[in-house]
């Protein structure tokens, strides 16, 4: 038997990132602690730039058999890989503020060991290779075209994230709790995912997307296997995007994880997970949409409402943003339900727009601190508009974008995704989306009120002077949010050109 043919050219972006990650691990093991951080940053940024260049190089190519039939590289896949790389690049700017991470993750919180690691400045930097591994998994996830690869990609992206969630320097127990919760629920959902994959194999006798698709088109037998298979597969995916009722981990993890990691996770994971979801529901299960659409309809509506209603009760900025991300997962699901070309285009646009706005918003959260670390209690944000007008204005702008006010990217995203859903006659989802947007507006505005219209009663909270990289990230995110709100035509045109799945 001859070795399988691999199209290295098209795999290059993923391979570069994996290579970078491996080198990062070696550096962690062998490099001196004085030069380690600088080396790690170089490798991380270097591999992301290189990978992006590779994506750019192949951006006009496509192939359904990149690695036999396990990986498919087409327009949407490359678009999502590029988006993930861009988001990761800017998230790394936030992560580079290494001060947010524990010096030695393995030390018991509060122990002598931890204190000495902090005092001597022996900072471990495993967060960089972990980020790269996660990025590689995320890039593979929307490009996978068989169930095994899909599962491997899922795990490659998830495992590093579980660890990264526990790396916070301050409030370490809280952070570790988040990591454990994320891991346990993640493992649970992986089990569901595998269970579903097994049933789909049982149904079609094939693990490739092509085979499953062919079975659905040809043989309407064994419907029960198909139903079980796709339900459980969907549960695994819905867990990753944080859709209700599989959202319970989101607020705890978003709150407990170090904020730069939350930013990365919220922005990039969504792209990857929705990328895979779009491919599965559009390509693989597209012909069985009579079976899954009603179910996803209910979940989308539930997710939007749960996200926006529970967010109202939140007094913590990170938790509020977590619930807002749940609501946005609901909006994105309407793009999946639409099941037409406009739905795909709108989803891709929404992912870019939402990704950057999220990155910016969490970027701002990293800046609001007192002497003990980040302040995420909304009450203590009172009066920020007076003390740091620029940062407060920028954060308000991000919130308005989340709320979908015109002249922000969020509005164009919402408009295009809802109109795609309307086009496919899912009007109930559109109405639910619009109503939950109205509910959501309430809590976004409350933050603006706290910052601008409430007098500060706590002078210890202040905005730290942002590091150059952090301020670059948040201002760039602001710029993207504005440009995509005012003149998104170039991006829309580009998306229109590439938004076709090949199979």
Partner 1 sequence: MTLTIIGALPLLGALLIGTVKKEQTTVVKQMALLTSILTAVAFAITAMRFEVDRPGFQFVESHSWLPTFGINYALGLDGISLILILMSVLLVPVVIIAGWHESEGGRWSAKTFYVLILILETMMIGVFAATDVFLFYVFFEAMLIPVYFLIGGYGVGERSQAAIKFLLYSLFGGLLMLASIIGIYVISGNQIGHTFDIDKLATLQIDSLTQNFLFLGFFIAFAIKAPLWPLHTWLPDAAKSATPGTSVLLLGVLDKVGTFGMIRYCIKLFPDASKTFTPMIITLSVISILYGAFLAIGQKDIKGLIAFTSISHFGFITLGIFAMTTQGNSGATLYMFNHGFSTAALFILAGYMMRRRNSSTIADFGGLQRVTPILAWTFFIAGLSSLALPGLSSFVSEFLVLVGTYTRYPVAAILGTFGIILAALYILIPVQKALHGPTTAGNEYLPDLTRREKIAIAPVIAIIIALGFYPKPALDVINPTSVTTITDAGFSDPAPTGGK
Site stretch for partner 1 (CB under 8 A), options 255-263, 281-289, 298-306, 406-414? 406-414
List phi, psi (to 5°) of 150: -60, -45
The answer to whether 313 contacts partner 1 (rule: CB under 8 A) is no
State the greatest distance between any 2 C-alpha atoms of the chain, in Å, as a whole number.
74
- Residue 324 host element (H or E): helix 317-338
Cβ-based nearer residue to partner 1, 26 or 428: 428
- Min dist CB 130 to partner 1, Å, is 38
- Sign for the pseudo-dihedral over CA of 15, 17, 18, 23: positive
**Near partner 1 in 452-471, by CB under 8 A:** 452-454
- Give the C-alpha separation, 273 to 77, whole Å: 12
The correct pick among 187, 449, 465, 479 for binding partner 1 (CB under 8 A) is 449
Site stretch for partner 1 (CB under 8 A), options 146-154, 274-282, 292-300, 419-427? 419-427
Neighbours of 33 (CB within 10 A): 12
The correct pick among 64, 492, 502, 503 for binding partner 1 (CB under 8 A) is 492
Binding mask 9-48 for partner 1 (x = CB under 8 A): ----------------------------------------
The answer to whether 430 contacts partner 1 (rule: CB under 8 A) is yes
The answer to whether 445 contacts partner 1 (rule: CB under 8 A) is yes
The answer to whether 309 contacts partner 1 (rule: CB under 8 A) is no
The answer to whether 483 contacts partner 1 (rule: CB under 8 A) is no
Cβ-based nearer residue to partner 1, 43 or 430: 430
- Residue 46 host element (H or E): helix 33-57
Site stretch for partner 1 (CB under 8 A), options 160-168, 245-253, 257-265, 401-409? 401-409
The answer to whether 99 contacts partner 1 (rule: CB under 8 A) is no
In degrees, to the nearest 5, what angle opens at C-alpha 151 toward C-alphas 190 and 16?
A: 130
Cβ-based nearer residue to partner 1, 270 or 446: 446
The answer to whether 312 contacts partner 1 (rule: CB under 8 A) is no
Q: Cis (ω within 30 of 0) for the bond into 251?
A: no
The answer to whether 407 contacts partner 1 (rule: CB under 8 A) is yes
The answer to whether 245 contacts partner 1 (rule: CB under 8 A) is no
- Give the C-alpha separation, 284 to 251, whole Å: 31
The answer to whether 482 contacts partner 1 (rule: CB under 8 A) is no
- Min dist CB 418 to partner 1, Å, is 5
In degrees, to the nearest 5, what angle opens at C-alpha 90 toward C-alphas 262 and 336?
A: 65
Cβ-based nearer residue to partner 1, 145 or 297: 297
Q: Give the relative orientation of helices 389-403 and 427-452 as an angle to the nearest 10 degrees.
A: 170
Q: CB under 8 Å to 3, separation ≥6 — which residues?
A: none
The answer to whether 67 contacts partner 1 (rule: CB under 8 A) is no
- Sign for the pseudo-dihedral over CA of 162, 316, 242, 180: positive
The correct pick among 40, 426, 437, 470 for binding partner 1 (CB under 8 A) is 437
Site stretch for partner 1 (CB under 8 A), options 98-106, 197-205, 304-312, 437-445? 437-445
- Min dist CB 76 to partner 1, Å, is 17
The correct pick among 188, 201, 225, 415 for binding partner 1 (CB under 8 A) is 415
Binding mask 350-389 for partner 1 (x = CB under 8 A): ------------------------------------x---
The answer to whether 441 contacts partner 1 (rule: CB under 8 A) is yes
The correct pick among 354, 395, 418, 476 for binding partner 1 (CB under 8 A) is 418
- Residue 96 host element (H or E): none
- Min dist CB 182 to partner 1, Å, is 33
- Residue 71 host element (H or E): none
- Min dist CB 454 to partner 1, Å, is 7
- Sign for the pseudo-dihedral over CA of 347, 348, 352, 355: positive
The answer to whether 394 contacts partner 1 (rule: CB under 8 A) is no
- Min dist CB 314 to partner 1, Å, is 17
DSSP line for 147-194: HHHHHHHHHHHHHHHHHHHT-BSSSHHHHHHHHHHHHHHHHHHHHHHH
Of the CA atoms within 13 Å of residue 100, those in its CB half-sphere come to 29
What separation, in Å, do the N-terminal and C-terminal C-alpha atoms of the chain show? 26
In the block, tokens 């499953």 appear at: 212
The correct pick among 38, 298, 431, 479 for binding partner 1 (CB under 8 A) is 431
Cβ-based nearer residue to partner 1, 109 or 406: 406
- Min dist CB 496 to partner 1, Å, is 6
**CA torsion angle for 361, 365, 366, 372 (degrees, to 10)?**
-170
- The neighbouring-strand residues paired with 463 are 368
Residue 70 DSSP one-character state: S
Question: 254 with 319: CB under 8 angstroms?
Answer: yes
List phi, psi (to 5°) of 179: -60, -45
In the block, tokens 């993640």 appear at: 186
Buried b (16+ CB within 10 A) or exposed e, 247-277: bebbbbbbbbbbbbbbbbbbbbbbbbbbbbb
The answer to whether 393 contacts partner 1 (rule: CB under 8 A) is no
Which residues of this chain interact with partner 1, rule CB under 8 A?
386, 400, 403, 405-407, 411-412, 414-416, 418-419, 422-423, 427, 430-431, 434-435, 437-438, 441-442, 445-446, 449, 452-454, 487-489, 492-493, 496
């Amino acid at each position: 038997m001859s070795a399988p043919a691999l199209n290295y050219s098209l795999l290059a972006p993923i391979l570069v990132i994996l290579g970078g990650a491996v080198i990062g691990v070696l550096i962690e093991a062998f490099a001196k602690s004085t030069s380690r951080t600088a080396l790690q940053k170089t490798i991380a940024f270097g591999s992301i730039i290189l990978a992006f260049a590779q994506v750019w190089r192949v951006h006009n190519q496509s192939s359904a058999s990149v690695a036999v039939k396990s990986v498919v590289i087409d327009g949407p896949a490359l678009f999502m890989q590029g988006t993930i790389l861009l988001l990761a690049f800017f998230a790394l700017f936030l992560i580079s503020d290494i001060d947010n991470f524990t010096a030695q993750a393995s030390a018991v919180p509060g122990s002598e060991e931890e204190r000495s690691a902090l005092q001597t400045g022996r900072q471990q930097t495993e967060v960089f290779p972990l980020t790269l591994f996660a990025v590689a998994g995320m890039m593979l996830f929307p490009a996978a075209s068989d169930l095994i690869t899909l599962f491997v990609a899922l795990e490659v992206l998830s495992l590093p994230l579980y660890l990264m969630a526990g790396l916070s320097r301050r409030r370490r127990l809280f952070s570790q709790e988040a990591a454990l919760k994320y891991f346990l629920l993640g493992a649970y959902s992986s089990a569901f995912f595998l269970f579903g994959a097994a049933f789909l194999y049982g149904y079609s006798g094939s693990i490739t997307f092509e085979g499953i698709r062919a079975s659905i088109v040809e043989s309407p037998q064994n419907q029960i296997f198909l139903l079980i298979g796709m339900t459980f597969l969907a549960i695994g995916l819905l867990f990753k995007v944080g859709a209700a009722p599989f959202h319970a981990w989101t607020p705890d993890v978003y709150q407990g994880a170090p904020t730069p990691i939350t930013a990365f996770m919220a922005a990039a994971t969504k792209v990857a997970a929705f990328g895979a979801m779009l491919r599965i529901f559009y390509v693989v299960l597209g012909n069985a949409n009579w079976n899954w659409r009603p179910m996803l309809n209910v979940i989308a509506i539930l997710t939007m409402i749960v996200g926006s209603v529970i967010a109202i009760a939140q007094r913590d900025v990170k938790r509020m943003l977590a619930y807002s991300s749940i609501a946005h997962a609901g909006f994105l699901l309407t793009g999946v339900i639409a099941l037409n070309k406009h739905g795909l285009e709108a989803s891709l646009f929404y992912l870019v727009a939402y990704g950057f706005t999220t990155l910016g918003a969490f970027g701002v959260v990293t800046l609001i601190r007192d002497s003990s670390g980040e302040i995420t209690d909304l009450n203590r944000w009172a009066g920020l508009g007076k003390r740091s007008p620029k940062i407060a204005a920028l954060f308000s702008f991000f919130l308005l974008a989340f709320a979908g006010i015109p002249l922000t990217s969020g509005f164009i995203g919402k408009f295009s995704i809802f109109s795609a859903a309307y086009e496919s006659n899912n009007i109930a989802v559109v109405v639910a989306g619009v109503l939950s947007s109205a509910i959501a507006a309430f809590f976004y505005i409350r933050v603006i009120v706290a910052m601008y219209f409430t007098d500060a009663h706590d002078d210890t909270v202040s905005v730290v002077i942002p590091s150059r990289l952090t301020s670059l990230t948040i201002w760039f995110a602001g710029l993207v949010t504005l440009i995509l709100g005012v003149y998104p035509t170039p991006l829309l045109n580009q998306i229109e050109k590439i938004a076709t799945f090949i199979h």
